[in-house]
Amino acid sequence: MPPRTVVIGVDSSTQSTKAAVTDTGTGELLAVGRAPHVVTGEGGARETDPEVWWLALCDAVAAGLKESGLSPSSVVGIAVAGQQHGLVTLDRAGRPLRPALLWNDTRSAPQAAALVAELGGPEAWTARTGTVPVASMTATKWRWLRENDPANAEATASVRLPHDFLTERLAGVAATDPGDASGTCWYSTATGAYDPDLLERLGLSVSMLPEVAATGGTRIGSLTDSAAEALGLPAGIAVAAGTGDNMSAAVGLGLGGAGLLDHPVLSLGTSGTVFAASRTRPASTALSGFAGADGTYLPLACTLNCTLAVDKVASLLGLHRDDATPGGEAVLLPYLDGERTPDLPTSSGLLTGLRHDTTPQQLLGAAYEGAAFTVLRALDELLLACGLDPADPEVAGRPLRLIGGGAQGRTWVETVRRLSGRPLIVPGSGELVALGAAALAASAAGGGDPVAVAARWNEKSEDAELPASERDTETWERIGSVLDRASEPLLGG
């Protein structure tokens, strides 16, 4: 019997790093090493020192290998999937000049509005990049840096996304992929390249940016001697281009560009996202028209306030996260960090509908409902942009794939099921972002198409299937009415 070979798929998220040691033949998750991150900032600021990500990657890989009990010599490839949009600025030696601005840093909202206006409105941006700038996008953060921290902006020799920074540490090669690059708003999904006019407008040059690989599974180099020593891995193993976290989750699910998904995906994490895989380039100002990691497209909508916001409400109420009941007349929009969809970057939370008999458990349930409503309404926008009517019974009856940390929570699952009225599929494969990165690593090591690799790995996955329940239209309409009436100033802007 040939010796077992494994790849390592890295999920470098907002809060932590996970390193999944994965059997290249079967996709069996042999071990997952974990290490936390530190996020700093008050108000709209959210920052992390990129060196924290590197140290966490080293710790997570070491923990994963130790847990697996395997020799490092069994590892044949590694790939990183990272949180999207973060702005990493490096000096000429490749060292961070300052903490990275994270995707959920909302300080660049004025710069986003200015950029939209300068190019002629949302439609012009959608035509060029596929995405309208909001405070989450990297281009707006770079503009903010130039206006608010000009010394560091002037000293910047290279600009990277979080996953680019880590991939470069692994292979010594400045590389990214179309998926993560498409979240910058200086990469064009129409041309499949950086947009020179937008770069000039932003004060960037191509020489400051990583080269864009063909796909996230492209082998862009080999693990360097210094990285191998830091990680305890063999030098020379394959390093894939990697991708963004959402693109990697799609790969982990085995979803490619066969057309619009029969099962749209809803991810419940720090943020809430909905996405679908498509061969057709989406063009809608209501969503992000990202590229996929496999050369297709990944239309996506994202909300800022999901599991973290609901956990904060539970903490304020002194309740366990599952000590919740339906909200009754109470409506709570948990926009604790501003909001991306809808685009309300300076908003705060909104609570209305209190009665004498409102219970703490109902307030927590209302937080779940508000967060779930926001991401489910974003799903409706995505379906419309892809030419489907959310009210069509055939479309509304399609199962919804539920992933992310919230998919493991009883109250999250039941709230989504009640407000959507859809059947749900909770994939049995855990750690989908890391699993997708592992498939990209396997591809870079000679394993073939990463989506096909992941699909083969998932054949033995035991998915949980939940039937549709009667849709709670009363709660849906109540929350929608509050949100539609609430102007940005009312929400705290």
| pLDDT per position as a tens digit, 162-205 | 999 999 999 999 999 999 999 999 999 999 999 999 999 999 99
Hey, what CATH topology would domain 254-426+463-493 get? Nucleotidyltransferase; domain 5 (3.30.420)
**For the chain, what percent of residues have pLDDT higher than 90?**
80
Q: Is 84 annotated as a binding residue?
A: yes
**pLDDT tens for residues 338-369?**
888 888 888 899 999 999 999 999 999 999 99
Where residue 489 falls among pLDDT bands split at 50, 70, 90?
A: very low
Q: Which of 245, 294, 337, 343 is catalytic?
A: 245
pLDDT at 257 exceeding the cut of 70: no
Where residue 1 falls among pLDDT bands split at 50, 70, 90?
A: low
Average pLDDT over residues 376-405: 88
| Res 261: pLDDT | 53
Examine the residue annotation and report whether 245 is marked as an active-site residue of this protein: yes
Looking at the domain that runs over 6-246, which CATH code has it been given? Answer: 3.30.420.40
**pLDDT tens for residues 241-250?**
999 999 999 9
**139 contacts 173 by C-beta, under 8 angstroms:** no
284-314 core/surface letters (b: 16 or more CB in 10 A; e: else)? bbbbbbbbbbbbbbbbbbbbbbbbbbbbbbb
Where residue 490 falls among pLDDT bands split at 50, 70, 90?
A: very low
Q: Is 362 annotated as a binding residue?
A: no
Task: Provide the whole-model pTM.
Answer: 0.88
Same fold, 6-246 and 254-426+463-493: yes
Domain ranges, ordered by start, for the chain: 6-246, 254-426+463-493
